Structure 1
C-alpha cells in the first residue's frame, strides 16, 4: 500500500501490539482478517493496479524480511511526522500478496482484482492487464478470482483466462458505463467462449443510489440486446436466454461472491 498514513501505528494501537518484523506484520494481518470475517466480510479486494503492476512474484522470506526491516527503520527515522506512512518495497508487497492469497486459499475466500481501465487520468493502463495475474490462478486453486471491469480493454484476455482456469470469473462491474457498445461486444464473446455460470453481468461501482439505478438500467438493456441477438441467430432459445439472464444478474454473483454467508 502507498504510505498515505501511519498504518503501522494504527495497527499497533488497534491490536495493542508492536510490529518490529515482517512476522509481526503477518500475524496482525491474520488477526485482522479473522476478526473481519467474524464481522461479516465475505472476501478480499485489491486495487494495487493504481500504484503498481499486478504481477506478484514469489519472494524468499529472508529477502522480504530484510526489505521490511529497512522500511521500518526509515519509517522510525521519520516518526515525528505522524502522518508519514510506511513505504513498503515491491519485494515485500509481493511476499505479502502471496501470504494473503494463502490465507484466502485456506479459508476458501474470493478476491476481487481491479483490472483494466483506471479511474481518472494518467493511470498506467498496462499495470492492470489481467494477464499479469496468471501465475496466481493455479497456485491458489481454492481462491475464486473475480476480475473486475472485464479487464477493459483487455476483455479478450479476460475471456481466455476465465475459459482456462476454473477459479477465474468475469465481472462486468463498471463495464456498461465505460462503453455500452464494448460491453455488449464483450458479453457476446463471453457467452460464446466461457461457461455462462462464470460471468457476472452487473456490478454497481457507484456510491450514489440514482447512478446505481441508471447503471443497472443500461446493464439490463445491454444484456437483453445481446441475448436477443443470439435468439435471432438461433444460438439460443428464448428459454435458454431467460436462464442466462437470471444467472448473469442474480445466481452467479450470489454463488461466486456470497457462498460463504
Structure 2
C-alpha cells in the first residue's frame, strides 16, 4: 500500500455519525473484559441477535447479565467464534488499548488484560481518551432507550443525538410501545405535550420535531425494521384514525397508523431541514429490504434520507436507489464490522456509482468506546486499502483519493448535519 496515503487516512479526524453510547453504559465503572466481548457485536456470534416477532426483548444477548471474567467464559469467543470479524475487531481493539503489545488474548495473559480493562473504566476520563486516540472529533448517538435524550450534559459537548421515532409510529394508545419498551405518550408528557385525539397527536409530533435542536438532536431515526417491515405504503388516514385510542387495533390498522405517522414525520423533517436515518438490512429480515422504502423516498423528495449499514446483504440494490433518488445519502456504519471483504467490494462500487462525493459517511454503532476505537481503526484501514487500489489501477490520482477520504471520514457528516 502507498505509505503516504495510508498515513494521510490514519491522521484524518472522524465525525462519527452513529453510536449507541448510552450514559449508563459509558459512565459505568465496573466493566471487565468479558463484558466488552459480550456487549459488543462479538456477542452476536454466540447468540442470534434479533428477536423474532414471537419473542420478547429478554432474548437479546446484549441485555444478559455479565459475571466475572474467566478463561472458560472467554473461550467461546476466542476459539469457537474466533474467525468471525465481529470478534476479530473487538479483540484487536482490546489488545491495542489494554494488551501491552500482545498479539492475542491467551490463557497466559487474559488476567492482565482483564485487570487493565477494569482499571481503565474506573477512570472518568477513559471515554474521552479513547475517542481522542481514535481521532473522533464528534459523535451522534442513538440512545434507543431514551428517544428524547440530550447527550451533552452527560456525554460531552461533542455529542449530539437522534430522536428515534419507533414509539411514535406505534403510539396509537398510551399502552402501546416499541421493541425497547418506549411509549410515545410518556415521551410527550416529558416535554409538556399531550394528545387526547389523533389530530392533537399530529400537532404534538410537530412540536416535538421543532424542539429537537434545543435538545441537541440532529436527525430522526427510523429503526422500525426491528418492529415491523419497512414497506411504508401510501398514507391511509381513515384506517390510521381507526387505530387511535384502541389498545388492540387490527394488523391493518396498526400498519396504516405507523405508515401515516412515518409519512407525517418525514414531511415535518423536510420543513425543519432535519435528516431522517433509516435502518435497513438485517433486522426482521423478511421485511428490511431497502426497496421497501422506495415509495417513502419518492413521496418526500425534499427530505434528506441517510440509509444505513449498506443495507447488507442488499448493498447493490441500495446503491441503485442512491443513484436514482438524489435525496439519499449512505451511512456505511456496521457493514465493515460484519464483513470487511463485502465492504471493500461495495465501497469500490459506491465510488463508481454514486452521483457525487458527498454521499458517504461512517460511524461505529457500538456501546463501549473500545469497540468504537476498533471500528474506526478498521474503517481507516479498509478505506485506505480501497483508495490505494483505485489509485494503483489508474481510476483516479492520489489527490482525488485524499479528498474523498477526508469527505467520507469527516466533511460529509459535517455538511450533512449542518455542523459547525
Q: For the residues of structure 2 that align with 1:56 and 1:224, how far apart are their CA atoms?
A: 37
Q: CA RMSD in A?
A: 2.1
Describe the SS at the equivalent of 1:89.
Answer: helix
Give the conservation status (yes or no) of the 8 Å contact 1:162–1:198.
no
Describe the SS at the equivalent of 1:234.
Answer: coil
Q: For the residues of structure 2 that align with 1:33 and 1:139, how far apart are their CA atoms?
A: 19
1:146 maps to 2:306: yes
Residue number among 65, 80, 84 corresponding to 2:241 in the alignment:
65
**CA 1:223–1:93 in 2, change beyond 3 Å: closer, same or farther?**
same
The equivalent residue for 1:43 is: 219
The equivalent residue for 1:249 is: 409
The equivalent residue for 1:225 is: 385
The equivalent residue for 1:199 is: 359
The equivalent residue for 1:121 is: none
Deviation per CA, 1:98-143, whole angstroms, max 9, x where unpaired? 111110111121100001123xxxxx31321111111122321221
The equivalent residue for 2:93 is: none
Q: CA deviation at 1:243?
A: 0.8
Describe the SS at the equivalent of 2:277.
Answer: strand
Q: Work out which of the two has the higher radius of gyration on C-alpha atoms and give 1 or 2.
A: 2
The equivalent residue for 1:156 is: 316
The equivalent residue for 2:255 is: 90
Describe the SS at the equivalent of 1:205.
Answer: coil
Q: Mark the runs of 5 or more structure 1 residues left unpaired by the alignment.
A: 76-87, 119-123
- TM-score, normalised to structure 1, is 0.85
**Structure 1 segments (4+ residues) deviating >6 Å:** none
Q: For the residues of structure 2 that align with 1:208 and 1:6, how far apart are their CA atoms?
A: 22
Deviation per CA, 1:199-234, whole angstroms, max 9, x where unpaired? 324211012111111111110110111111111110
Structure with greater helix percent = 1
The equivalent residue for 2:183 is: 7
The equivalent residue for 2:294 is: 134
Deviates more, 1:202-211 or 1:154-163: 202-211
Q: CA deviation at 1:242?
A: 0.7
**CA 1:16–1:245 in 2, change beyond 3 Å: closer, same or farther?**
closer
**CA 1:17–1:182 in 2, change beyond 3 Å: closer, same or farther?**
closer
Deviates more, 1:96-105 or 1:22-31: 22-31
Q: CA deviation at 1:162?
A: 0.8
Q: For the residues of structure 2 that align with 1:252 and 1:15, how far apart are their CA atoms?
A: 32
**CA 1:135–1:236 in 2, change beyond 3 Å: closer, same or farther?**
same
